[in-house]
Structure 1
Amino acid sequence: MDHALVSRMRELLPEMLADIEELVVCESPSADLAAVAASADVVSRVGEKRLGVAPERIVVAGRTHLRWAFGDGPSTVLVLGHHDTVWPLGSLATHPFTVVDGVMRGPGCFDMKAGVVMAMHAIAALPDRSGVTLLVTGDEEIGSPTSRDLIEEEARGRAAALVLEASADGGALKTERKGVSLYQVKVKGRAAHAGLEPERGVNATVELAHQVLAANGLADPALGTTVTPTVMSSGTTGNTVPAAGEFSVDVRAALVDEQLRVDAALHALAPVLPEAELEVVGVPNRPPLMASASSALFDHAAEVAAGLGLPPLTRVAVGGGSDGNFTAGVGTPTLDGLGAVGGGAHAAHEHVLVAELPGRAALVSALVAQLLDGGRSNSTNSPASDGAGRP
């Protein structure tokens, strides 16, 4: 039998869908500061409607983040999400917001505007919100350059960080994430006419080829370490020895030692061609989220889910990074992937399974309540079904 909280969230499903639509139809590509600011306005308005108070607006380098902190004492639980997306302005024209046959579609609905709305409704259902902080950032999709310090500050010393990123396949929670490092390898050569005197040039494309192979060779599949050269550019015209070029490198590592090994090796790369110059720019962006950071929280969440009458929770390790890597990196127990169930993040088939929204929101609400209570109560004493605590 469904727990009363799940039933209450089902009653609130039309409100959730309306809130998600409001967020999705305000496009918010990470690189567009004006779009992110406009999206923050919408998130703020929806959050104030559901939580009864306006958030604190934190603008860093022109980028807007939002924080709701409840209670006068220190925060115990950090609930974390982001409102920026990878979708460029105009995507709604080709990928409009729709809900058809129980499937929601629209740019950013799965990653992760549905999760932001779920977090709001989950917190609104709490009988006592004291000790909860909801942080919604605006630059996660580009590596959180302006929000990392804020996230780490909010997470440090907390009992738990709950990340409302979209779930893995089948609704699995993400209990391990690889660390992420991003680099640019830049080569400077010397231009020359490719037909008249190519020997006078220093060919940046050839140097890049050597460096691509060197970087690619740093991977260690046995340890789960991937080193992937990605975007590359070089040269100006088809009859000129290229004078400059560069390529990007995406590194994923399950172990901190591996992340540091690859970082040192990339920065130690040296030119192969005489007179070529080489520069490597980049550092580890996100530390690994290790299983040890999430195992106890997952077990607790599984008990809560059972108490709510929800299907058994599953877990998975993934290669993608999130802001949960930062919270785990400062030593805070972290559970990720608590958001929407669906699929197709960053892709044309991005979608959310509408029927799963109430149960996931109820799970988050009950889990937060348990964590605030120090684990002394059981899930049957979770937030009341009458909407207590809602504005």
Structure 2
Amino acid sequence: MTASPAPAAAALTTRAQEVSSRIVDDILTLVRQETSSYDLPGLAAGLDLLRELTVQRLGQPDHELRHPGGECGDTLTLTYAGTGTGAGTGAGHVLLVGHYDTVWPTGTLAGWEQPGPSDDGRDRLSGPGIFDMKTGLAQGIWALKLARESGAPVPTVTFLFNGDEEIGSLSSRPVIEEAAQKADVTLVLEPSAHGAVKTARKGTGIFQVTATGVEAHAGLAPQDGASAITALSEFVVAAAKVAAPDRGTTINTGLFRGGSAINVVAGQATAGVDIRVSSEAEQARVDEELDAIKVSDPRVHIEIDHAWNRPPMTLNAASAPLLALAREVALEQGRDSLPDTAVGGASDANFVAALGLPVLCGMGAVGDGAHAQGEFIYPDTVAAQTGLVAGLLGRLTRPLRG
């Protein structure tokens, strides 16, 4: 790995500490604009606000493109040219990815309560989406701002803000994959795992299983019917046995619907199944074993929609040197270490890792409670996390690939 001369990460972190109150103000500005994944007007307003904030801190981008999301939030890319070696031709190019949509329905903010200090007395800030992941967005913007203001060379940086990550990145996935292939490295500004970066994530499947049986009167001619509910119940029990937690594979049927009336043998039933796997081999095994499940009544037809949403993410060969570089920056900051970890949730980093490209995830907030009422950040970590990304940008002024 080639690294360019860079300002000491400790100095960048000190500067981040000096402006940490302004970074927190920007975080709270983003949180106050609710951006539910299913509220298109709210998403549009949120993306406009995010663009405005980026331009306020960094000036007008050298290149900008807004990708319509259709039934999802739009995806925005903003590129700021670097000043590294051979800027414009051989300069390093870093992609910073962050989603602005949240899982919280519009209107949640009005009833949200702030938590008190943690058990060890540390202040906490809470709000819908503050941890996952509006803090990461603000920290990423400020990281580039501080790196540029240091006067040292910086790489070309493209911000990619997408509004559909929480529902599977349905429209933004091809944009993410294309942008990652044009960049040298990708940093995903998702929240950290208690300060650890995320180098492995499970792949996810959102399967819909449909059972089609034969309707009949439950009292007059039950023998003429073939219950879709009974058959689908057999299926989900068998599917649960396909799980292999020791191999990182979990299977959860979270939704089950069926039937038309209490006195009618059910002609149709559907189930929504959440599947998490740690490897492509497990993904293939799950597909094969679910397809092999048989139900007791041959008159019922089972159809499985194998909808794998994200591939598994592992620490690939391209990402390992990037992790090592991040750890060097953390040591310069004065940290004892920068741990990495595997987590069960998926993110847009899964797409990048599956392409064999260098990527680190979990470069954002330190806190807890993603997708839970009361999610929070520790504001005393904002400077260090911002300084970590800023310091890493200063070390990425030359391409790492090729």
Deviations 1:59-106 (A, max 9, x none): 132531111112245862111110001001111022157897621100
Q: Which moved more, 1:210-219 or 1:339-348?
A: 210-219
What is the alpha-carbon distance in structure 2 between the residues aligned to residue 191 and residue 123 of structure 1? 63
What is the alpha-carbon distance in structure 2 between the residues aligned to residue 111 and residue 351 of structure 1? 9
Q: Does 1:175 align with 2:199?
A: yes
Which residue, 292, 315, 333 being the options, matches 1:308? Answer: 333
What is the alpha-carbon distance in structure 2 between the residues aligned to residue 271 and residue 372 of structure 1? 59
Deviations 1:29-83 (A, max 9, x none): 1122222112111111111111212543221325311111122458621111100
What does 1:289-304 align with in structure 2 at a 5 Å threshold? 289-293=313-317, 294-304=319-329
Q: Which moved more, 1:7-16 or 1:143-152?
A: 7-16
Partner of 1:41: 48
Q: Which moved more, 1:57-66 or 1:159-168?
A: 57-66
1:57–1:64 contact (8 Å) kept in structure 2:
yes
Q: Which moved more, 1:230-239 or 1:24-33?
A: 230-239
Q: Which runs of 5+ in 1 are unaligned?
A: 376-391
Q: Does 1:160 align with 2:181?
A: no
What is the alpha-carbon distance in structure 1 between the residues aligned to residue 330 and residue 356 of structure 2? 25
1:310–1:359 contact (8 Å) kept in structure 2:
no
SS at match of 1:292: coil
Which residue, 53, 74, 80 being the options, matches 1:70? Answer: 80
Q: Which runs of 5+ in 2 are unaligned?
A: 1-7, 82-87
- Go from structure 1 to structure 2 and tell me whether the alpha carbon gap of 1:10 and 1:333 turns closer, same or farther (over 3 Å shift): same
Number of residues paired by the alignment?
374
SS at match of 2:234: helix
What is the alpha-carbon distance in structure 2 between the residues aligned to residue 30 and residue 363 of structure 1? 29
2:9–2:330 contact (8 Å) kept in structure 1:
no
What amino acid is the match of 2:68?
V
Report the Cα offset of residue 270 of structure 1: 5.0
What is the alpha-carbon distance in structure 1 between the residues aligned to residue 313 and residue 297 of structure 2? 39
- The alignment-based identity, stated in percent, is 39
Which residue, 134, 139, 145 being the options, matches 1:113? Answer: 134
What amino acid is the match of 1:59?
P
Partner of 2:168: 143
TM-score by length of 2: 0.87
What does 1:331-346 align with in structure 2 at a 5 Å threshold? 331-346=356-371
Partner of 1:378: none
Which residue, 47, 50, 58 being the options, matches 2:67? Answer: 58
TM-score by length of 1: 0.89
Q: Does 1:18 align with 2:16?
A: no
Partner of 1:3: 10
State the Cα RMSD in Å. 2.2
What is the alpha-carbon distance in structure 2 between the residues aligned to residue 68 and residue 206 of structure 1? 53
What is the alpha-carbon distance in structure 1 between the residues aligned to residue 357 and residue 9 of structure 2? 31
Which residue, 338, 342, 361 being the options, matches 1:317? Answer: 342
1:158–1:332 contact (8 Å) kept in structure 2:
no
Q: Which moved more, 1:145-154 or 1:235-244?
A: 235-244
Partner of 1:276: 300
What amino acid is the match of 2:22?
E
Report the Cα offset of residue 158 of structure 1: 3.3
